[in-house]
Amino acid sequence: MMNYFPDEVLEHVFDFVTSHRDRNAVSLVCKLWYRVERFSRQRVFIGNCYAISPERLIARFPGVKALTLKGKPHFADFNLVPQDWGGYVQPWIEALARSRIGLEELRLKRMVVSDESLDVLSRSFTNFKSLVLVSCEGFTTDGLAAIAANCRFLRELDLQENEIEEKKNHWLGCFPDSCTSLVSLNFACLKEINLAALERLVARNPNLKSLKLNRAVPIEALQRILMRAPQLVDLGTGSFVLDRDSDDSETYRKLKATIQKCRSIRNLSGFLEVAPRCLPAVYPICLNLTYLNLSYAAGIHGSELIKLIRFCGKLQRLWILDCIGDKGLEVVASTCKDLQELRVFPSDPFGAGHAAVTETGLVAISSGCPKLNSLLYFCQQMTNAALIAVAKNCTNFIRFRLCILDPAKPDPVTMQPLDEGFGAIVQSSKRIRRLSLSGLLTDRVFLYIGMYAEQLEMLSIAFAGDSDKGMLYVLNGCKKLRKLEIRDSPFGDMALLRDVGKYETMRSLWMSSCDVTLGGCKTLAKKMPRLNVEIINENDQMEFAHEDSQKVEKMYLYRTLVGPRKDAPEFVWTLV
């Protein structure tokens, strides 16, 4: 029936289909739908920049306006991927610039971006509106200056946790006076900023909804900025300390009064430097907060955190440091009944091991916050009993990431592995999509995961398992698995090679310090030409023996339609 509709009607219907997966599914129905879908597609997501080439992207989706690209594998966040591994955005920007693509939005994660790329980007797309860079590196504030100066209709510049070399230029001053279209600006990851330029910029951009400052913005400047922008919805404070020299009480009073007028703020973050006595200034807006991020606020004591949290009854997402303690988490549990996402970060990641938060805090949260669906929890210890209780209280986990700081630590009460605890989680949260394991774990936990985690898409494994069987349970059982990353676990060639076709159904597999050998990887690469099997070997003082029986230190494999990449550095060997 749909075949008798003109293309425009199909297109109109497809306009309502917005998620990437749904659009991908639509394109597979028949050749007609494929054609209509591809011409009307505006938003494209590429989870691995090496899976496809920019030329093929442009050929298939000539109407693309918004592109997301991801580069390095996730474990690069933890220094497991050497510098210069890859993930360069330059070829993409060059290809898009050469074509007649009207790019408006670009979102990059874990990619290497150069000043030249940013310059070309800023000059090539007249309607460019939004640049979001997450965990990227390779550029300086010169690149930002180009974006500021040349993108006349820029709405969003969002820099999240990038490594940016800061030059003496005042890039913020490069926004012309005619720039009045900004909606979102985030430069929290920078160390410096030109305050005067910032205040002028905020003053002439009345549509600014999201502003995240860096630690170079003192509290006095924050107050002035908030006076100009009471319409903010999303605020990241910079430095939140009162300068000892200034008249403290006057500044504090003004700040409190100004903040009180910012009735629209729903998301609060920053506090990169914070003096506890200034915190009460934000109490008035706490009532309306749905997202609070205090993960950088190392200066705040548990008791002050607790006082603050008591005002935040509507919180849905909370990111906090473990100095809140188990007691503090109990307060969260009794105050934040709508809590959906909790992240507890370690304030002393390398410390000797005093327990800041334990299983007690987590159980309290699960008991008080049944809507909890996303968890990232760093703790000193965990018990099976606690995990089983959490599983009973919260059955809606989509993301469950537990990091017990001491690798392979068992349940301290029973000295047992944590298999049963994690098993309970996957059994009760049927929609779980992402899971990170830690603590002492045997093959049994993987048996449970394979059996119950039917929707699992991403699994992170460290120091776990006994044998190849563990990995096999996961590969066989988790039909929707897309990303598997494993470190320091005894999985070898037998597991790797059992079902080679599986990897074409996944985005990528990372294995480091496991038992896979060079020979095993070679066999896999030979059997599967549409996988890139990369061996990363940084041991420059040791000869890489090239013996098939040698264990491979780091292997990263991913499906691709474009063969081995041509920009691989010396220490990356792509097997064919």
Kindly indicate which of the ranges 227-235, 348-356, 475-483, 517-525 contains the residues binding other proteins, using the contact rule CB under 8 A.
Answer: 348-356
Q: Map residue 455 onto helix, strand or coil.
A: coil
Asked if 425 and 390 count as a contact pair (C-beta separation under 8 A), the reply is yes
Taking each helix axis as running N to C, give the angle between helix 219-228 and helix 195-203, from 0 to 180 degrees, rounded to the nearest 10: 20
Binding mask 30-69 for other proteins (x = CB under 8 A): ----------------------------------------
Binding mask 173-192 for other proteins (x = CB under 8 A): ----------------x---
Q: Is 378 in the site for other proteins (CB under 8 A)?
A: yes
The CA-based angle 367-369-375, given to 5 degrees, is: 100
Binding mask 441-470 for other proteins (x = CB under 8 A): -x-----------------x-xx--xx---
Q: Is 137 in the site for other proteins (CB under 8 A)?
A: no
State which amino acid sits at residue 457.
E
Toward other proteins, which CB reaches closer, 53 or 512? 512
Q: Return all residues near 54 (Cβ < 8 A) that are at least 6 apart.
A: 91, 92, 94, 95, 96
| Beta bridge mates, 320 | 344
Kindly indicate which of the ranges 117-125, 329-337, 347-355, 494-502 contains the residues binding other proteins, using the contact rule CB under 8 A.
Answer: 347-355
Kindly indicate which of the ranges 57-65, 78-86, 247-255, 356-364 contains the residues binding other proteins, using the contact rule CB under 8 A.
Answer: 78-86
| Near other proteins by CB under 8 A: residue from 103, 272, 282, 315 | 272
State which amino acid sits at residue 183.
V
Q: Is 161 in the site for other proteins (CB under 8 A)?
A: yes
Toward other proteins, which CB reaches closer, 288 or 303? 303
Asked if 516 and 493 count as a contact pair (C-beta separation under 8 A), the reply is yes
Q: Map residue 8 onto helix, strand or coil.
A: helix
Concatenated DSSP letters of 65-106: -EEEEE-S-GGGGGT-S-TT---B-HHHHHHHHHTT----EE
Q: Is 393 in the site for other proteins (CB under 8 A)?
A: no
| Near other proteins by CB under 8 A: residue from 490, 494, 544, 562 | 490
| Near other proteins by CB under 8 A: residue from 7, 22, 77, 499 | 77
Least Cα distance to 93 among 39, 36, 131, 60 occurs for: 131
| Near other proteins by CB under 8 A: residue from 236, 410, 423, 520 | 410
Structure tokens given for 508: 């990528």
Burial bucket for residue 561 (CB in 10 Å: 0-12, 13-18, 19+): exposed
Toward other proteins, which CB reaches closer, 28 or 542? 542
Toward other proteins, which CB reaches closer, 290 or 513? 513
Q: Is 541 in the site for other proteins (CB under 8 A)?
A: yes
Asked if 322 and 345 count as a contact pair (C-beta separation under 8 A), the reply is yes
Interaction site with other proteins (CB under 8 A): 75, 77-80, 135, 161, 163, 189, 272, 295-296, 298-299, 321, 345-353, 378, 403, 405-410, 412, 415, 436, 440, 442, 460, 462-463, 466-467, 487-488, 490, 512-513, 538, 540-541, 553-554
